Amino acid sequence: MFCYCRLLTAPLRSTSTALTNKRSYNSEDREYLHKSIVPTMHYQKSLPRLPVPKLEDTIKRYLAAQRPLLDDDQFSTTEKLARDFENGVGKQMHEELVAQDKRNKHTSYISAPWFDMYLSARDSVVLNFNPFMSFNPDPKTEYNNQLVRATNMVASAVRFMKTLRAGLLEPEVFHLNPAKSDTDSFKKLIRWVPSSLSWYGAFMVNAYPLDMSQYFRLFNATRIPKQGKDELFTDPKGRHLLVMRGGNMYVFDVIDRDGNLVKPAEIQAHLKHILSDPTPAAAHPLGLLTSENRDTWARLREKLLATGNGEVLGLVDSALFCLCLDDESMNDHIHISHNMLHGDGTNRWYDKSFSIIMAKCGNAAINFEHSWGDGVAVLRFQNEVFKDSTENPLVNPGSQPAAVDSASAVRRLQFNLDAELENGVIKAKENFHAAVSKLTIDAMQFMKGGKEQLKKKKLSPDAIAQLAFQMGFLRQYGQTVATYESCSTAAFRHGRTETIRPATIHTQRCAQAFVQQPGKHSVEQLIGMLSECSKYHGQLTKEAAMAQGFDRHLFAMKYLANSKGQALHSLYQDPAYAAINHNILSTSTLTSPAVNLGGFAPVVPDGFGVGYGVHDEWIGCNVSSYPERNVHEFLQCVHKSLEDIFSVLEGKPLS
């Protein structure tokens, strides 16, 4: 169940994530990224609560999403079950959910079930959950040296953490009218409005503060494997960084005893020491265990603790974050995607809330564990670290590392492993390679048009990208299948995500016209169909961003019934319910000045994992698949679909 999270709807602008922001940056002040006028968590108390949709709306939306996936007989069965649910047991379940929600006003109805879903999953986090987002290169080429870039990113990451914890990080706000709300004068005014009312003040000027409750789990945080259900661990007292190289693990302090950033030249010296450490690659790299089935890893972790490794495991778990220094250089996008999504398993600790991976060539990415939060917090962190490390680098290619005793400051962690643990690592390596060897990744760039051209035609860029995936799949496999696009509900307190269902009767009709009946419709008719798809997709996106989808509501009612030991209604036993949740096309969009590309594995064995971005003049996709699907052919079909769409928009008939 992967999601980067589509953030609300265009054309929203975020003060916090816009990399062009004017910041009160003081080059003398190395401790903070900036000092926000408005305290970081100023809006949190007054954020609106995540609404529970009306049951009749959920059923209506569910049936609309099912319609293109089912034939008439199947749909008739599903409709009967849905109506029976709506008028019977569903009404009772909905009322129980609303009552429970009213008793828990401090949170959202989806928060606990969503944490539970992630933490109870027993599959490996690798491929099944952890995504990656790669950084763009530093515009100054010479700063892409591995040591220089790693030092600058570590320093920027620590400064982000300090800014966040001091309450000085600019709050995450979407501005519909930045000329009014994204100004110093408004900020000076709103900071004096009590935090229990501040959201309303922002709302009055068309600004929408977003939930920031996940941010505290960015640092000093790890997912701990436990039998049956994992736990999230956070220890904000940790002052050290975890560094991995060649499967060996090192720690050193990046914050001093007074809570200040260790001098960047010292961080550089310590990282240089690690990069030149002659210790051979680890014979039994423990990081592989974090790629195992969660119950298997829980059992082996208990064994690690029993054999006297508690103190070193504590250092791993409480480290600020993990920096993975890879000895390999990256050749191309595909190589980057494989390395940053999974690598060879030896030089990663996949359970850390996030890791910065730095290849020998200076290519960098973030790989993050997904249970603690969604893409919103990670993307904000990535944007800020990219901006700070490129615009305000604290070391440069000519900088000399400090003359300090790195040998005593840096500690290489050593573990006591018995035969059972060594065999556990060997088995984990076999399982890891068996899994990742099945994954294929391919990328595509469509260079004949993008966001600008589509907006001129009054079409939603996201709708057209999603339509191209529907057309591509229809061309390749002759079917319309369950499709998932994640959408953030961070506009609400403890919101997570909602699902946009891009496969609709409109996309089905349009895809059939373009792919199966190319000569049957005039250019005007085809443009009319594109417009219908765009309008309906825009409606679905707005509904999802306002927590008015159907997926989370049905999920929460099912979770509630299971938690009370109640029998599930036939709606949940319907093969059509299983099919719409078997997301063959799992999609997520991401565009940011900091991010080069992002990616994730398919969520089902016969699916595609589609990361994409619609840029001003081009459209890019980074897609993964397992052997049951052909990703190369799929991307050719998507490219052909985009060519056809843009040809029609230029007034050319389909040939």
Residues 580-609 have pLDDT tens digits of 999 999 999 988 999 999 999 999 999 999
Q: What is the pLDDT of residues 70-86, one digit of tens each?
A: 999 999 999 999 999 99
Give the Cα separation of 368 and 219 in Å (integer). 12
**Residue 432: pLDDT band with limits 50, 70, 90:** very high
Region at 302 (left for phi over 0; alpha for psi -120 to 50; beta for the rest): alpha
pLDDT value at residue 91 = 97
Q: How far is CA 29 from CA 35, 157, 390, in A?
A: 10, 15, 17
Token pair, residue 570, equals 């036939």
pLDDT value at residue 372 = 95
Kindly report the pTM of this predicted structure. 0.95
Q: What is the pLDDT of residues 150-184, one digit of tens each?
A: 999 999 999 999 999 999 999 999 999 999 999 99
Which whole number is the average pLDDT over 611-628?
Answer: 97
Which whole number is the average pLDDT over 268-279?
Answer: 98
Task: Tally Cβ neighbours within 10 Å of residue 138.
Answer: 20
pLDDT value at residue 519 = 87
Q: What is the pLDDT of residues 487-526, one digit of tens each?
A: 999 999 999 999 999 999 999 999 999 999 988 999 999 9
Instruction: Return the percent helix, strand and coil in the chain, to nearest 5.
Output: 45, 15, 40
Query: Which CATH number does the domain 130-168+216-437 belong to among 3.30.559.70, 3.20.20.70, 3.40.30.10, 3.60.10.10?
Result: 3.30.559.70
Query: Residues in the chain, how many?
Result: 655
Active-site residue set: 370
**Residue 624: pLDDT band with limits 50, 70, 90:** very high
pLDDT at 268 over 90: yes
Give the Cα separation of 43 and 541 in Å (integer). 24
**Cis peptide, bond prior to residue 653, ω within 30 of zero:** no
Q: What is the pLDDT of residues 244-262, one digit of tens each?
A: 999 999 999 999 999 999 9
What share of the chain has pLDDT > 90, as a percent? 93
Task: Tally Cβ neighbours within 10 Å of residue 338.
Answer: 19
Give the Cα separation of 297 and 227 in Å (integer). 9
pLDDT mean across residues, the chain: 94
Token pair, residue 520, equals 């049957």
**Residue 10: pLDDT band with limits 50, 70, 90:** very low
Residue 466 in contact with residue 608, Cβ under 8 Å?
A: no
Token pair, residue 260, equals 């200040």
Locate the domains of the chain by residue range.
55-107+440-650, 130-168+216-437
Give the Cα separation of 140 and 138 in Å (integer). 5
- Tokens 């398993």 label which residue? 345
What share of the chain has pLDDT > 70, as a percent? 96
Going through 49-151 in order, the beta strands assigned E by DSSP cover: 132-135
68: Cβ–Cβ under 8 A, 6 or more apart, which residues? 480, 503, 504, 505, 507, 508
Token pair, residue 325, equals 């220094």
Domain 55-107+440-650 CATH class label = alpha beta
Give the Cα separation of 147 and 264 in Å (integer). 12
Least confident of 396-410, 472-486, 623-637: 396-410
Q: Where are the alpha helices (DSSP H) in 342-400?
A: 375-391
Give the Cα separation of 421 and 288 in Å (integer). 11
Going through 76-201 in order, the beta strands assigned E by DSSP cover: 132-135, 173-175
Residue 401 φ/ψ, nearest 5 degrees: -60, 150
pLDDT at 16 over 60: no
Give the neighbor-by-neighbor strand order of the sheet with 585-589: 440-446, 619-625, 608-614, 585-589, 483-488, 497-500
Q: Please, which residues bridge with residue 368 across strands? A: 354
- The DSSP code for 193 is S
Q: Is 483 helix (H, G, I), strand (E, B) or coil?
A: strand
pLDDT value at residue 17 = 42
State the amino acid at position 198 in one-letter form: S
pLDDT value at residue 197 = 95
